[in-house]
Amino acid sequence: MGLEARATLRRPFAIGRRGFVVLAIVLCAVAALVVLDAPFRALLPQRGGFAIVRAFFAAMFHPAIGYETAVPAGTPPLFAEALAAARRTVVFAAAAMSLAIVAGLVLGFFASTAWWRDPAVGGAGARRRGRRALAGTVWAATRVLIVGMRSVHELLWAVIFLAAFGLNTASAVLAIAIPYAGTLAKVFSEMIDEAPRDSAIAMQAAGAGAAQAFCFGLLPRALPDMCAYSFYRFECAVRSSAVLGFFGFPTLGYSISAAFENLHYSEVWTYLDVLAVLVVAIEIWSGSLRRRFVA
Amino acid sequence: MTPRVEALHRRRPRSRLVRWSMLALLAIAVWSWTSGDIDVADLLSARRLENLRSFLRDDAQPYPFHDHPFAWSTLASWAGGLLASRGISGSIQTLAISVVAITLSAIGAAFLAPLAARNLAASRPFAPYSGPARAVAGRERARAAAWRALTTATRAVLVFLRAIPEYIWAFLFLAMLGPSAWPAVLALGIHNAGILGKLGAETVENLEAAPLRSLRWLGSSRLAIALFAVAPLALTRFLLYFFYRFETCVREATVLGLLGVVSLGYWIQDARARHFYDEMLFFVVLGALIVLAGDVLSAVARAFLRRAT
């Protein structure tokens, strides 16, 4: 009672932490709007923009079935083209994820504290002083590497690779794989550290070695979350892979930008719908898997 | 002892969906590398490697070092010049775009999420007990169907908003609105409204039902429950999601500049077009630092919120 009274006394405006955060957000947003200096007038379509808006949204309700203009003989039908672009979108995403998961597991292992630093779960490094220093160095270096990998956006990696190699499909895969590996490593390491440790401790008490306890006691407890998260990132990778098309890689983004620049708005909507269906299908798949994993 | 372990092993929870999905994913991964769409050999060809070598030797070097030996002071004055001319203003623009965008999307989501939550937007919100199947009047059934249609439609809109990536939204808006910061703001806002709306709706659906139900029993209206019970209960969660999405907003705001909006990405694209790759790399690194700053800000805010009661 006394404590409560003092708490109210110390807080003249009873808005609480959340109220404070909301207030800060609103103030920041207003300040940002001022800094942005974007006139509200610019929200209206520019000259000629109205025609584009009208044509574009009119096309929303009848996506193209065939090409809007004549195409050279032998061009595959629009729908086949859209499906092929969707297939390449998935191919790039899957290849990137297969790299990112392997790299993410390795880096995530080195970035987790459970193995390196916690004597209870008992990595070999945690016990002896000399090894502990080495383990700490490896841990810190991995963290820095992970931050560097994931702070650069996949499109910027793509831009760098374009400058370094020129247009090449494998560099698109690398561009997605690098930041995704960083993100997966970060999340994997957190999941390993947050996994319940009772089984690992019990196994060690029963005489298992540190490696055994880690692989069969700790890792399986984190595995469902790790699988669910990887699948979610696959969903994101499909979107990223589609966007890479804007830089000339043969995914859905390439078809969208080409159709838009040719003013073929109905074709744009066909590609947008294919992309939406693809993403939603993967989302439903991953959602149903996640429920199995987490429940 | 052994038979019991075997019996336990046989009765372990298994899911056909999980097993087949894992196999399918493995197959997709193998197929992706063997389909011939990804040309690894080309990346390692002599021509590409020569490109890489000349890129690292000449293009990636800050230009003062092309004819001067390395010195920290030269590097500092080069970087300072880039920062003063474009770097700082670009960084501020990037942050401003993401702050306005995430706030807009939160406002949008605050309206859409309650409409997509199946417990709140139902013909009988928080009905205490649905009871045994009883003869439902035709009007009642129509009302239920109408509410279901509303939640389904809202969810469909949210799905579409988030299924299209920010970059594509920005590309479309830029063509319609012309160059200003708005296409980037709207693109980020729309995509994230779809995500925050979905997460918000899930938060509302996962709220503990008992207190809300008892309010309903005591005669509160739907609006009153939404404003004075659901909103305060869901706020902390929603704010956590808000900051989590803010991080991605900063990342994406940097990149949307590639399309021609004046954020850091604009200067990356500009340097790239002029083949000043040293400047391009400088702005990429600066962008990474801004992203890092956004991550730290968001982590601090989330830690602050977690301690909120």
B59-88 residue pLDDT tens: 777 777 777 777 788 888 888 888 888 889
Among A248, A236, A95, residue whose Cα is nearest residue A161: A248
List all residues 6 or more positions away from B51 whose beta carbon is below 8 Å from its beta carbon.
Answer: A164, A165, A166
Q: How confident is the model at residue B55 (pLDDT cuts 50, 70, 90)?
A: confident
**Average of pLDDT values for B224-240?**
91
Q: What is the C-alpha separation between B48 and A169, in angstroms, rounded?
A: 12
- Taking each helix axis as running N to C, give the angle between helix A78-111 and helix A219-244, from 0 to 180 degrees, rounded to the nearest 10: 140
Q: What is the C-alpha separation between B269 and B276, in angstroms, rounded?
A: 10
Q: What pLDDT was estimated at residue A263?
A: 84
Q: What pLDDT was estimated at residue A242?
A: 93
Is residue A289 within 8 angstroms of chain B, CB to CB? Answer: yes
Chain A residues whose beta carbon lies within 8 Å of the beta carbon of residue B99: 28-29, 31-32
Q: Domain map of chain B by residue range?
A: 72-126+142-306
Chain A residues whose beta carbon lies within 8 Å of the beta carbon of residue B32: 90-92, 94-95, 98
Helices (H), chain A: 2-10, 16-36, 49-58, 78-111, 113-116, 129-151, 154-165, 169-194, 198-205, 210-212, 219-244, 252-261, 265-294
**Average of pLDDT values for A64-88?**
83
Q: Is residue A126 within 8 Å of A118, Cβ to Cβ?
A: yes
Cα B252 to chain center, whole Å? 9
Q: What pLDDT was estimated at residue A1?
A: 45
Is residue A32 within 8 angstroms of chain B, CB to CB? Answer: yes
State the CATH class of domain B72-126+142-306.
mainly alpha
Residue B285 has pLDDT above 70, yes or no: yes
Q: Chain-wide mean pLDDT for chain B?
A: 87
Distance from CA of A180 to the nearest CA of B (A): 13
Q: Chain-wide mean pLDDT for chain A?
A: 84
Among A116, A18, A161, A294, residue whose Cα is nearest residue B52: A161
**Average of pLDDT values for A177-191?**
94
Q: What pLDDT was estimated at residue B243?
A: 92
Q: In the Cβ-directed half-sphere of B249, how many Cα atoms lie within 13 Å?
A: 35
Residue B294 has pLDDT above 70, yes or no: yes
Q: How confident is the model at residue A148 (pLDDT cuts 50, 70, 90)?
A: very high
Q: What is the C-alpha separation between B294 and B245, in angstroms, rounded?
A: 11
Chain A residues whose beta carbon lies within 8 Å of the beta carbon of residue B268: 156, 159
Least confident of A250-259, B94-103, B168-177, B236-245: B168-177
Tell if the CB–CB gap between B48 and A168 is shorter than 8 Å.
yes
Q: Is residue A286 within 8 Å of A235, Cβ to Cβ?
A: yes
Tell if the CB–CB gap between A46 and B255 is shorter than 8 Å.
no
Tell if the CB–CB gap between B168 and A272 is shorter than 8 Å.
yes
Q: What pLDDT was estimated at residue A10?
A: 55
Tell if the CB–CB gap between B284 and A253 is shorter than 8 Å.
no
Tell if the CB–CB gap between A36 and B280 is shorter than 8 Å.
no
Chain B residues whose beta carbon lies within 8 Å of the beta carbon of residue A289: 17-18, 21
Q: Considering just the CA atoms, what is the radius of gyration of chain B in Å? A: 27
The kind and range of the H/E element at B245 are helix B231-256
Q: What is the C-alpha separation between A170 and A91, in angstroms, rounded?
A: 11
Residue A281 has pLDDT above 50, yes or no: yes
Give the rounded percent of residues in chain A with a pLDDT score beyond 70.
89
Chain A residues whose beta carbon lies within 8 Å of the beta carbon of residue B255: 153, 155-156
Distance from CA of B302 to the nearest CA of A (A): 10
Q: How confident is the model at residue A13 (pLDDT cuts 50, 70, 90)?
A: low
Tell if the CB–CB gap between A256 and B171 is shorter than 8 Å.
yes
Q: How confident is the model at residue A5 (pLDDT cuts 50, 70, 90)?
A: low
A164 → closest Cβ in B55, B95, B242: B55
Which domains does chain A carry?
78-294 (1.10.3720.10)
Is residue A15 within 8 angstroms of chain B, CB to CB? Answer: no
B212-231 residue pLDDT tens: 988 988 988 889 999 999 99
Sign of CA dihedral B104, B106, B109, B111: negative
Tell if the CB–CB gap between A164 and B51 is shorter than 8 Å.
yes
pTM of the model: 0.84
Is residue A54 within 8 angstroms of chain B, CB to CB? Answer: no
Q: What is the C-alpha separation between B303 and B232, in angstroms, rounded?
A: 19
Q: Is residue A182 within 8 Å of A147, Cβ to Cβ?
A: yes
Chain B interface, best mutation among A34, A168, A174, by max B CB count within 10 A:
A168
Q: Is residue B113 within 8 Å of B200, Cβ to Cβ?
A: yes
Tell if the CB–CB gap between B52 and A165 is shorter than 8 Å.
yes
Residue for token pair 């007990």: B129
Structure tokens at B271: 């340097």
**ipTM of this model?**
0.82
A81-133 residue pLDDT tens: 899 999 999 999 999 999 999 999 999 988 888 766 666 665 544 556 677 77
List the single residue in A with minimal CA-CA distance to B277.
Answer: A163
Q: What is the C-alpha separation between B217 and B212, in angstroms, rounded?
A: 9
Q: Which amino acid is at B53?
A: R
Among B97, B108, B283, B248, residue whose Cα is nearest residue B184: B97
Q: How confident is the model at residue A174 (pLDDT cuts 50, 70, 90)?
A: very high
Give the rounded percent of residues in chain B with a pLDDT score beyond 90.
38
